[in-house]
Amino acid sequence: MGASGIKYICLLALIIGASLLTIGDAKSRQDVVAKLNGIPAAKWLQLVNSAIDSVTRQKRLEENLLNSDITVKNGSLSHVQLLDTLPNLASKQDSELALKILKSSLYVFNSECLPNEIDGDECRSYLEQKPLPEGSSLRTECENLLKGNREGHHAFRRLLVSSHYKNGFYDMFPNTGRLNTVPAAWSISKGLYEPDSIQTAKQIRFENNPNLVLAQWAQFVEHDLSKPVSQSMSSGAPIECCSRDQINLQPRHHHPACAPIICQPSEKYEVPSCLNYVRSALAVADCNFGGAEQLNQATASLDLSQLYGLTSAAEKKLRASEGGLLKSTPRGENDNALLPIASDTEGPSFCAREIIGDGTCFAAGDSRVNSNPFSILIYTIFMRNHNRLATELHLRNRRWSDERLFQAAKAINVDIYRRVVIDEWLPAVLGERLAAEVKTTRYPSALEVSNEFAVAAIRFYFSMLPNELQNLSKDNIVHGTEKNNEYILINKNLPSTSLFELKEEIYKPQLEYTSKKLNDILESLLNQESMKMDAAYSGGIVWHKDTKPTHADILAFDIQRGRDHGLLPYHRYLESCSLSRPVNSWKDFEQFIPKDVLDKLKTIYNSWSDVDLIVGGISEMPVHGSVGPTFSCIISEQFVHVLKQHVQKADHKYAQLVEQYRHLNGTKLLCLSSGLLAVPQNIFQLPSASNRLVSCEDV
């Protein structure tokens, strides 16, 4: 597909635009409009009131659930997942209002559209243009919300305009009932699973293979740009959709926002296992009726909000209030400091522990900091970098206030981060050519993060994560031996030892975190090859067995979330990104998906038209970078908007200062913020003859 990824998106826009303008023949559209325009004002008000009554009624149900103790327990699997999708107060408020608007739309749909043979898509596109009734409390509430500070509470954008819901508004696939063709999320993940031994055997060693730092940065970038959060009860309590034994709850304990990930075992009468899935918080896009849009508790520019916090209030909590510094846990030198420890009251928002205050738990601007040792490490690096910069600035400008030092250090830190992401990481993911194209493409306006990027494309890195991080630190290997023009690493003590098992560390930091440990992890990340980007995830992050799950299944979760967000099926994106013609059969996937994977997909899905975006995306063979053409297309599109945001929202206050630090790249960043002695030129590739180590002493 090469250079044409972005162009195809333009084509796509053309197609969508054309079909929107002329949906069907004009007559039926007019019929719909005439029919719905004929609804008297009083009726619109009544429909909205019915919806608000129904939202109010839900409170009784929620009280019951809480009385029956059906909520997320500290330390449970659902707690782990909650931290990945933890809403803040403003998101909850947005989502509650959005739910009222959605319910109002559904009342219109069920009362006025369906009985008159107006289908979901027709009805929704009419309602999207229809303002909430003048004089209704809902309209007032909505307008007030939009007037307020909306930082970081935007709706995800839909790449292909339309959503994919059973009823056009909100009902998720798969179907229940006999016309059930779409397989359940968990069964897809199980169907794709391969034992780790097979996966490792398939691993082919290439020159310039990506290392695990690439996956780690993908996660960090995700944390910055995207945070779909889950809905909560109106009291703020988190919603639980499974029993404590990880089996499904009785229907009477089912919250309306629940869409648990269920696995029906093959044995007759057996009890299904259950993983929590709560539907994502909704966003208020405007004060019109319309279908569901999900909320992004993050902004579309690379601003290190995951480190500094999304709001100024959150940022304030993280600052040391002197010298422009961020809070940290000091360990002698600055490049040894660790992240601050979460206070006891913050504990449950950062770590999934049964007992609050038990063990290490770091705090940062995002609940996802403790999601694994990789994230802890990279958050730490940027915290150290900030504090190093602030200290430097302070030395040079003794009279600068804390505020000025902080803002200047932050501006420089963000700029370094942006350059590493755009100039180094993006080429590793997309390939040089497409990454360069991203920088030169210009769209008329900067838009929010796309749903497809947030819940599918950027999630590619999970496929690259291994179960264990091997200890490839300098104590364990002999560096830099060059033999016959090949640069190889020699492992000192075979078999290799591992630093940790991923599944043990998710939101429960067990390692004893010291500066040295972080150095070991970083060194190993640089030196361990990432798993192949493919449809098989390692056993530590999926649950492929029929037994009671003791950890989550990331792939099943991502599939479920894609459906929750109403993403169109994979083929629609393939058509617009790469094929520029409609897909007609499985055969059309052949040039993108390896045969063995395609054969598996055929046994899992009844139809090629059902394949979920995330599943198709991870199944594709990478072409130039680390991901296949469809994910390349979605990621590149997103970064065009990100770059545009950077231009539009640029703050030139510290431009000169920032300029002074332009020489800092990924290698130098890692050198300066860790205890490593040498770091490869390209931090996203394994060290090799073409990717030599740079000594940190020279930095």
Partner 1 sequence: MLKSANIKLLLVSWSCLAALSQAKSYGSPDLDIDNDNSIATIESTVDPFESCKIYCNGTLLHTIQMAKPPLFSDSKTFVDMTLKYSPDKTLEDFNAMMEAKNQQPSREDLKNFIKEYFGDKGTELESWVPSDWKENPSFVDRISDPDLKQWGVQLNDIWKKLGRKMKDDVIKSPQNYSIIPVPNPVIVPGGRFIEFYYWDSYWIIRGLLYSEMYSTARGMIENFLSIVERIGFIPNGGRVYYHGRSQPPLLTGMVKSYVDFTNDDQFAINALKLLEHEFNFFLNNRAVSVNNHTLCIYSDSSEGPRPESYSEDVNTAASFDSDEKKEHLYTQIKAAAESGMDFSTRWFISEDGTNAGNLSNLSTTSIVPVDLNAYMFWNAKLIAEFYSKAGNIKKVTEYEEKAGEFLLGIQEVLWNEEAGCWLDYDIENKKSRNYFVPTNLSPLWVKAYNISDSENISAKIMAYIEKNKLDTYPGGVPNTLAAQNEQWDFPNVWAPMQYILVEGLNNLNTPEAKNMSMKWATRWVKSNFKAYTDHLDMYEKYDAQVFGGHGTGGEYDVQTGFGWSNGVIIEWLSKHGRDISTGSGSGASASRVMSVVGVAAVTIVALIAGRVLW
Binding site for partner 1 (CB under 8 A): 4, 7, 11, 14-15, 18-19, 22-25, 27-29, 31, 35, 46, 50, 53-54, 57-58, 60-61, 64, 67-68, 106-107, 110-111, 114-119, 122, 175-179, 245, 247-248, 250-254, 268-272, 548, 580-582
Tell me which residue has tokens 């296992």: 273
Output 459 or 563, the one with its CB closest to partner 1.
563
Q: Which two tokens stand for residue 610?
A: 């059902």
CB of 457 to partner 1, least distance (A): 23
- Whether the bond into 256 is cis, omega within 30 of 0: no
Could you tell me if 224 and 367 are in contact, meaning their C-beta atoms sit under 8 angstroms apart?
no
CA distance 25 to 151: 41
Both tokens of 64, joined, read 């019951």
Q: Which is nearer to partner 1, 52 or 90 (CB)?
A: 52
Whether residue 289 contacts residue 136, with contact meaning beta carbons closer than 8 Å, is answered with no
Question: Alpha carbon 405 to chain centroid distance?
Answer: 32
* Tokens encoding 468: 């264990």
For the bound state, the minimum distance from the C-beta of residue 115 to partner 1, rounded and expressed in Å, comes to 6
Q: What does each C-alpha distance from 54 to 48, 99, 359 come to in angstroms?
A: 10, 11, 43
What does the H/E/C string look like for 417-459? Answer: HHHHHHHHHHHHHHCHHHHHHHHHCCCCCCCCCEHHHHHCHHH
Q: How far is the CB of 184 from partner 1 (least distance, A)?
A: 14
Nearer to partner 1, 29 or 602 (CB): 29
What is the H or E stretch that residue 479 is in? strand 477-483
Whose Cβ is closer to partner 1: residue 16's or residue 598's? 16
**Residues 305, 306, 307, 309: what is their CA dihedral angle, to the nearest 10 degrees?**
60
A 10 A CB-CB count for 436 gives: 15
Q: How far is CA 541 from the centre of its chain?
A: 15
Residue type, 606: N
* Of residues 115 and 332, the one with the C-beta less far from partner 1: 115
Measured from the CB atom, is 172 or 420 closer to partner 1?
A: 172
- CA 685 to chain centroid, in Å, comes to 23
Least separation in angstroms between CB 57 and partner 1: 4
Question: CA 682 to CA 680: how far, in whole Å?
Answer: 5
Residue (254 or 692) nearer to partner 1, CB: 254
Could you tell me which of 573, 584, 337 has the C-alpha nearest to residue 457? Answer: 573
Residue 133 or 687 having the CB closest to partner 1: 133
**Shortest Å, Cβ 592 to partner 1:** 18
Query: Taking Cα atoms as reference points, which of 52, 45, 200 lies closest to residue 133?
Result: 45
Report in angstroms how near the CB of residue 621 gets to partner 1 at its nearest.
23
Residue appearing with tokens 């004893």: 512
Structure-token pair, residue 531 = 């798993």
Q: Decide if 152 contacts 305 (C-beta within 8 A).
A: yes
C-alpha–C-alpha distance, residues 339 and 325, integer Å: 12
Shortest Å distance, C-beta 110 to partner 1: 4
Nearest residue (CB) to partner 1, 106 versus 298: 106
Strands 295-296 and 273-275: unpaired
- Residues 389, 673: contact at Cβ < 8 Å? no
Q: How far is the CB of 188 from partner 1 (least distance, A)?
A: 21
CB-nearer residue toward partner 1: 110 or 681: 110
The answer to whether residues 643 and 636 touch, using CB atoms and an 8 Å cutoff, is no
Min dist. Cβ of residue 229 to partner 1 (A): 24
Q: Which two tokens stand for residue 193?
A: 């699973």
- Residue 29 Cβ, how far from partner 1 at the closest point, in Å? 7
Which amino acid, residue 6? I
76/349 with CB nearer partner 1? 76
Q: Output 30 or 137, the one with its CB closest to partner 1.
A: 30
Q: Which is nearer to partner 1, 345 or 547 (CB)?
A: 547
Quote the least distance from Cβ 63 to partner 1, whole Å: 9
Chain mean position to CA 557: 11
Shortest gap between Cβ of 52 and partner 1 (angstroms)? 12
Instruction: Tell the smallest beta-carbon distance from residue 294 to partner 1 (Å).
Output: 21
Chain position carrying tokens 């229940």 = 176
Instruction: Give least dist CB 267 to partner 1, A.
Output: 9
What burial letters (b/e) apply to 447-460, b meaning 16+ CB within 10 Å?
bbbbbbbbbbbbbb
Between 35 and 624, whose beta carbon lies closer to partner 1?
35
